[in-house]
Structure 1
Amino acid sequence: MVDLTFFLRRLRDRNRVGGTLQAYGFAGVLACGACALALAGLLPIAMRALPDRLPAGLSSALAMQFQVSATCLIVASLILTGPLQLHLVRFAADRLAEGRGELVLPGLRATGLAVTVLAGLFGVACLLWAFPQQSAPYRALMLAGFVLMCHVWIAVAFLAGMKQYGTIACAFLAGVAGASVAALALRGFGVEGLLGSFAIGALVLLAGTTMQIHRHHRSRRLLSFTVFARRHRYPSLIAIGLLYPLGLWVDKLQFWYHAGTGQAVIGPLHASAIYDIPVFLAHLAVVPALAVFLLRIERDFVAHYDAFVDAVRGGGSLQRIEEARNAMVRAVRLGLYEIVKALAIAALLLFALGRPLLALFGMTQLYLPLLHVDMVAAGLQVVLLATLSLYFYLDRRREVLLLGAALLALNAGLTHLTLTLGPAWYGYGFAFAVLIVVAIALVLLDRRLERLEYETYMLQ
């Protein structure tokens, strides 16, 4: 992430206050992730269905049907394309490192063709089987939105791997703006009109990302299926791309379809108001902590990591290598310390503002304990995301794979247990699952950093 490092440093160095705020703001947008940005973009679109009412009206049937439908499209497309995202980025990075950049764009197109076929077949099968009572326009727009979002995730993952972060942020802003304007014109057509505006926003987003990709990468070949060749496969990355999103969403799925917590909204799609809103507020509260750690990684850890790699490749002395490794460890510890401070501040603010925030969404104070638990779980998730990013820097894919599998198994099992125990335990399943995985991840990371010199030289 060298390009991002320089970009954040330029923002921070413009002036003492404004540049720092811009750097943290940009880091916060990136730290949210594409999925969080897409989910947040649903709110202004849904509001177009409620011209005369503000947040208190978000529980209306029309807005709820649209939000649940669009969230389903986002989550399903993210999980379906997850196995291909990391694989494609690694393929592109390897080809560029080999000086064979002409294979990158054809490989991306081949991946897009595969995604179109898979998403189209899966989407048609689901719509025919699961939505027989919905209108034909609704089903057609759901299929179009699903295919478009699958392509969006592939394009966004590719741009993120190529360090085109500014393009991603601008494309999402353009997509949300386009969808919001379209929602004003189409709100008279009910949920179909809102889904149409969502599809238009996805199309704008896809167009923006695709044009930027073709601007920076050119090739005379149209398609190249070498991206799927055996020698270019990365089974661990494919598995990580599937397990990790499932691990993060499996508790939400259980709450959606549990008899005591979920409710049918449209067709087979369910929602859980008692769980979804506290989770959303908790994740919104930890965005500053995400920005703090992302900025700390890009400013300190990457510099020390590059120094360590340069010392190893350049034949540096053992003392120089150890100093670089010790600096990396200090950067990790300082980053974790700062993220804990940011999370503590966010938790205090959320605890203080919990009642009015819940009231804004029409929820009683009985949900305050769940909001507090979700805040702790979201904070632990930030620590987990930060730790996994360090593992990827160190190219420890096996550990990331094991942690992703553990998160999925623990989250599914503990959430099921808490649903059985009753409302007093809601939220604890995800919180304890993330806590256990974070503890394992930190212990393994400490051991890896301690043995870094040995593994660098002896296990190559």
Structure 2
Amino acid sequence: MAGIGFELKKLFDKSGLVNKAKAYTYSSLITIGPMLLCIVMVAVFNWMMRQAGVDFLNVELFQSSVIYAFIFSYIMSSMMTMYLTRVSSDFLNEGYHNALLPSLYGSIQITLIAGAIPALIFLIVAPLPLSVKTGLFLLFMLLIMIWNQVVYVSAMKNFRRIVGAFACGAVVSIGALSIILYLTPLRTASSALFSFDSGFLVTAGMLMVQIERYFKPGKTVSNFSFLAFLRRYPSLIVIGILNAVGLFAHQFIQWFGPSGVVISDAFLMAPQYDVAVFCAFLSAVPTLIVFVVSLETSFYPKFRNYYDYILSKGSIMDINRARTEMYQVLGQQFTLMMGIQMIFSIISIALGIRFLPLMGFTSTQIDLFNLLVIGYFAYIIYNVVSLVLLYFDDRKGVLWLAIAFLGMNTGFTAISVWLNDQGFSFFAASFLTLLLALARIIHVLNHINYYTFSAQPLVARQTENRFGPLLKR
């Protein structure tokens, strides 16, 4: 998250509970803003539509449309977001601020075009009303745009306006749906979709205004100049796609299994499994927030100090002392995050056993939920370890971990569907990948001097931009 650590550290270092709460609030909105907004809004919309007497088929069609838009927009935008995070960080560190805004425009153009092609093919074939197709396509495009914006939002200082953008979007969506449900006869899935779209349109517009104000355009730079770094970081694009597909692979396999159903002759889903996944994933959210606030504000200064000594020709004693401090902080933060996640996982299982039956969960679904909670515990820790490995530029190791997780998650789930067993496959894939990730980071840390001094190129070559002179301050 380019630049967020510096700003959150200012809040986190201040005394007082209010400042700590602000730091965690901003972290949650920036790291999982679109995801959190989607989850909350789907739950609110479902409740409002049921209270207003909307028939079950329209509620189900709306929910399926939002889930498809969310999953596939996340996968499509993941093609660029990890690569953009690295490139935008390089731009900030090197002072090429004039290239940040054009790179956002370019990434949005690329992902919108790449996403529009399969989306239009699906919508042409799907036997859905034109109004539903229009609302779904608009939501898909808006989510792709917001996923790209989040990369740049993380570098902005005005967190209050960022929070305001997400809050205003939620208020507009709820207000629009309330007007439609209680003042008009249009109680359909398409009207709910357009209400949903209105809020995300407001959020995307407000975020774009804030981004343009913060990253003021300077010298003219091509919108696609950021692609000049493609030769340097091609693995990040592959890693982003593999991670996104791997996250949802077990659901895709379940859709084609015995529990899969076709909704409105268009959407293939496994409702009981998908609902359990949705509830279990919420248990992993705390670690995402703690990672950004705690690890980046505590670990990054030690990490930077270690490499500053190397680059500024510090003595071997200074370098070794900085390395030891970095290892200590990293170990402390890993222990902290695993402890916090374990607490939330235990609480989630206890609350699930007590309250999920009240929401209509069967005993089989509760068992599935418990397995998925443990699976997401392993998955989220593996994800954090992968991000730390990227700090040390171990792209090759993270790439192989992403391949391993996708392969195991897909293979184990296919076997479990054949055996008519659910839940354990995701846990097994996540746990085994976590073990591989821990082994990899131990290897990297034990050989950090080799990766720092011997594995780097002896001569640094400036990347050329085929669209013209690369970047000028």
Q: TM-score, normalised by structure 2?
A: 0.87
Q: Does 1:11 align with 2:5?
A: no
Q: Does 1:173 align with 2:172?
A: no
CA distance in structure 2 between the partners assigned to 1:169 and 1:453 by the alignment: 42
Q: Where do 1:223-302 residues align within 5 Å?
A: 223-229=222-228, 234-258=233-257, 260-302=258-300
SS at match of 1:49: helix
| Contact 2:375–2:426 under 8 Å retained in 1 | yes
| Contact 1:110–1:224 under 8 Å retained in 2 | yes
Q: Where do 1:152-171 residues align within 5 Å?
A: 152-160=146-154, 168-171=162-165
Query: Which residue of 62, 71, 74 maps to 2:70?
Result: 74
Tell me whether 148-157 or 18-27 shows the greater mean CA deviation. 18-27
| Contact 2:5–2:292 under 8 Å retained in 1 | no
Residues 17-51 of structure 1: per-residue CA shift (max 9 Å, x gap): 44334434444444546434433332223333123
CA distance in structure 1 between the partners assigned to 2:86 and 2:116 by the alignment: 25
Quote the residue 1:49 is aligned against: 49
SS at match of 2:262: strand
CA distance in structure 1 between the partners assigned to 2:314 and 2:123 by the alignment: 60
Quote the residue 1:386 is aligned against: 384
Q: Which runs of 5 or more residues in structure 1 are unaligned?
A: none
CA deviation after TM superposition for structure 1 residue 434, in Å: 0.9
SS at match of 2:225: helix
CA deviation after TM superposition for structure 1 residue 155, in Å: 1.5
Call closer, same or farther: CA 1:421–1:90 in 2, change over 3 Å.
same
Quote the residue 2:132 is aligned against: 138
CA deviation after TM superposition for structure 1 residue 143, in Å: 1.6
Q: Which runs of 5 or more residues in structure 2 are unaligned?
A: 457-473
SS at match of 2:51: coil
Call closer, same or farther: CA 1:233–1:39 in 2, change over 3 Å.
farther
Tell me whether 247-256 or 366-375 shows the greater mean CA deviation. 366-375
Tell me whether 138-147 or 271-280 shows the greater mean CA deviation. 271-280
CA deviation after TM superposition for structure 1 residue 288, in Å: 2.9
Query: Which residue of 321, 324, 333 maps to 1:323?
Result: 321
SS at match of 1:40: helix
SS at match of 1:316: coil
CA distance in structure 2 between the partners assigned to 1:352 and 1:137 by the alignment: 42
Quote the residue 2:331 is aligned against: 333
Quote the residue 2:369 is aligned against: 371
CA deviation after TM superposition for structure 1 residue 373, in Å: 0.7
| Contact 1:290–1:339 under 8 Å retained in 2 | no
CA distance in structure 1 between the partners assigned to 2:99 and 2:29 by the alignment: 31
- Could you tell me which amino acid in structure 1 is paired with residue 245 of structure 2? L
Residues 378-417 of structure 1: per-residue CA shift (max 9 Å, x gap): 1112201211221121122111211111111110000111
Quote the residue 2:468 is aligned against: none
Q: Does 1:106 align with 2:102?
A: yes
Call closer, same or farther: CA 1:16–1:160 in 2, change over 3 Å.
closer
- Could you tell me which amino acid in structure 2 is paired with residue 114 of structure 1? I
Quote the residue 1:404 is aligned against: 402
* Residues matched between the structures, number: 451
CA distance in structure 2 between the partners assigned to 1:215 and 1:19 by the alignment: 25
Call closer, same or farther: CA 1:20–1:88 in 2, change over 3 Å.
closer
Q: Does 1:185 align with 2:183?
A: no
- Higher share of residues assigned helix: 1
Call closer, same or farther: CA 1:161–1:388 in 2, change over 3 Å.
farther
Query: Which residue of 454, 457, 462 maps to 1:458?
Result: 454
SS at match of 1:41: helix
CA distance in structure 2 between the partners assigned to 1:399 and 1:161 by the alignment: 27
CA deviation after TM superposition for structure 1 residue 189, in Å: 3.7
Call closer, same or farther: CA 1:166–1:378 in 2, change over 3 Å.
farther
Call closer, same or farther: CA 1:121–1:411 in 2, change over 3 Å.
same
| Contact 2:37–2:170 under 8 Å retained in 1 | no
CA distance in structure 2 between the partners assigned to 1:140 and 1:22 by the alignment: 38
CA distance in structure 1 between the partners assigned to 2:151 and 2:9 by the alignment: 23
Quote the residue 2:351 is aligned against: 353
Quote the residue 1:126 is aligned against: 122
Residues 172-213 of structure 1: per-residue CA shift (max 9 Å, x gap): 222222222122123434100011012112211210121112
CA deviation after TM superposition for structure 1 residue 316, in Å: 1.3
CA distance in structure 2 between the partners assigned to 1:169 and 1:395 by the alignment: 31
Q: Does 1:438 align with 2:437?
A: no
Query: Which residue of 352, 360, 363 maps to 1:362?
Result: 360
SS at match of 2:49: coil
- Could you tell me which amino acid in structure 1 is paired with residue 285 of structure 2? V
Q: TM-score, normalised by structure 1?
A: 0.89
- Could you tell me which amino acid in structure 2 is paired with residue 332 of structure 1? L
CA deviation after TM superposition for structure 1 residue 14, in Å: 4.5
- Could you tell me which amino acid in structure 2 is paired with residue 70 of structure 1? V
CA distance in structure 1 between the partners assigned to 2:209 and 2:101 by the alignment: 12
Call closer, same or farther: CA 1:231–1:384 in 2, change over 3 Å.
closer
